């Protein structure tokens, strides 16, 4: 068993990637009808002690994609317009009518009911509950075994802290883990907030955690980036909302705002974000996305200059100056 303890999400670059490169064995992973060479660890448990701390990302585009995907998944929506703006591949991965057929959002909120609320209800009834589970399987027989993320379980430990346990069938560290884990870290913090307890550890389990051979150089560059990145943030993003009821609508409204500013690029939506009814953490994340979407090479805009000095702002400033490996970009 490979047990790896990390502090924040940025330690994926600082500690997890070096571990896979140094200790991983050459192997093969099968995906999308192809066999690909990789370096992998088997029987892996990765614990994040402070999953509410985002740390450094792989690139500015990867940060934007991760933030947008997190908002999209937690909105429960299946229309794919927002994701097309952040990842070109999503223009072709729909049902022909602009909707995804297998998104995580659909699995979380529709196929088995509102599993976020159901998990909250179970733990609200009893902190000893072991039934606060989100099933992430598609319920289509031909699709079983294709989903990378299998299930999420929320538990309250003996220190009265929320723990979130995430099971994967396999984990691609460069292409998927960094964006996936942001979704669950935000949900983890929100669930703890709704239950009025402290957020504890978030733990990932998988039989197979790997870096594709054609991403090994990019992985090494991610390590160098993490060593160069200095977090001088002074603002901790407050991952809180008032209630689990209606929370999905807040994220859906955020999706609408993002779609609007992409459709109407000549209009300034910054004040609309600031004056919205959204919780502070969502306002801040939307401001970050808006700045990234409107950024010009080398420019530190007035909006960026006055943005709260969070780790997300620090990432923008860093990637404006740092040359990123193309394989760490999302395009």
Bridging pattern class, strands 149-156 and 34-48? unpaired
Task: Tell me how far CA of residue 327 lies from CA of 32, 53, 68, 88, 183, in angstroms.
Answer: 19, 24, 19, 15, 22
Model pLDDT, residue 238: 95
Within 10 Å of residue 49's Cβ, how many Cβ atoms? 13
Contact by Cβ (8 Å): 180, 147: no
Contact by Cβ (8 Å): 135, 112: yes
pLDDT per residue of the chain (331 residues) written in tens, 0 to 9 = 999 999 999 999 999 999 999 999 999 998 767 899 999 999 999 999 999 999 999 999 999 999 999 999 999 998 888 988 998 655 545 545 455 556 788 888 988 899 999 999 999 999 999 999 999 886 665 655 556 778 999 999 999 999 999 999 999 999 999 999 999 999 999 999 999 999 999 999 999 999 999 999 999 999 999 999 999 999 999 999 999 999 999 999 999 999 999 999 889 999 999 999 999 999 999 999 999 999 875 666 889 999 999 999 999 999 999 999 999 999 7
What would the DSSP string read from start to end of 98-139? SB-SS-HHHHHHTBTB-HHHHHHHHHHH-TT-S--EEE---S
Cα–Cα dist 287/269, whole Å: 9
Q: Degrees (nearest 5) of the Cα angle 81, 320, 220?
A: 90
Q: What is the residue extent of each domain of the chain?
A: 2-325
Model pLDDT, residue 97: 45
Q: Is the backbone of residue 34 left (phi > 0), alpha (psi -120 to 50) or beta?
A: beta
Domain 2-325: give its CATH architecture.
Answer: 2-Layer Sandwich (3.30)
Contact by Cβ (8 Å): 6, 12: yes
**Run of H or E residues at 195:** helix 178-195
Q: Which of 53, 48, 92, 85 shows the shortest CA–CA distance to 69?
A: 85
Task: Tell me how far CA of residue 256 lies from CA of 23, 104, 249, 273, in angstroms.
Answer: 44, 19, 10, 11
Model pLDDT, residue 297: 59
């Amino acid at each position: 068993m490979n047990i790896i303890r990390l502090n924040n999400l940025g330690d994926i670059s600082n500690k997890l990637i070096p571990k896979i490169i140094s200790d991983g064995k050459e192997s093969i992973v099968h995906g999308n009808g192809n066999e690909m060479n990789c370096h992998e660890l088997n029987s892996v448990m990765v614990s994040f002690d402070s999953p509410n701390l985002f740390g450094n990302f792989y690139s500015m585009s990867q940060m934007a994609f991760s933030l947008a995907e997190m908002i999209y998944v937690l909105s429960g929506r299946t229309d794919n317009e927002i994701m097309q703006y952040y990842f070109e591949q999503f223009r072709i991965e729909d049902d022909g009518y602009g909707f995804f057929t297998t998104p995580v959002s659909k699995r979380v909120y529709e196929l088995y009911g509102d599993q976020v609320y159901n998990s909250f209800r179970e733990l609200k009834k009893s902190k000893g509950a072991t039934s606060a589970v989100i099933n992430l399987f598609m319920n289509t027989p031909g699709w079983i075994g294709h989903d990378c993320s299998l299930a999420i379980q929320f538990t309250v430990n003996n220190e009265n802290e929320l723990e979130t346990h995430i099971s994967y069938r396999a984990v691609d560290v460069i292409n998927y883990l960094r964006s996936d884990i942001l979704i669950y870290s935000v949900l983890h913090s929100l669930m703890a907030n709704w239950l009025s307890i402290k957020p504890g550890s978030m733990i990932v389990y998988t039989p197979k955690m790997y870096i594709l051979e054609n991403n090994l150089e990019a992985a090494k560059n991610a390590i160098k980036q993490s060593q160069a990145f200095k977090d001088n943030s002074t603002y901790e993003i407050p991952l809180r909302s008032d209630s689990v009821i209606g929370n999905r609508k807040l994220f859906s409204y955020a999706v609408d705002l993002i779609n609007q500013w992409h459709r109407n690029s000549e209009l300034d939506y910054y004040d609309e974000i600031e004056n919205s009814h959204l919780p502070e953490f969502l306002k801040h994340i939307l401001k970050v996305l808006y700045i990234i979407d409107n950024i010009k090479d080398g420019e530190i805009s007035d909006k960026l200059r006055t943005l709260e000095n969070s780790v997300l702002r620090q990432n923008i400033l860093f990637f404006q100056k740092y040359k990123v490996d193309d394989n760490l970009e999302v395009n």
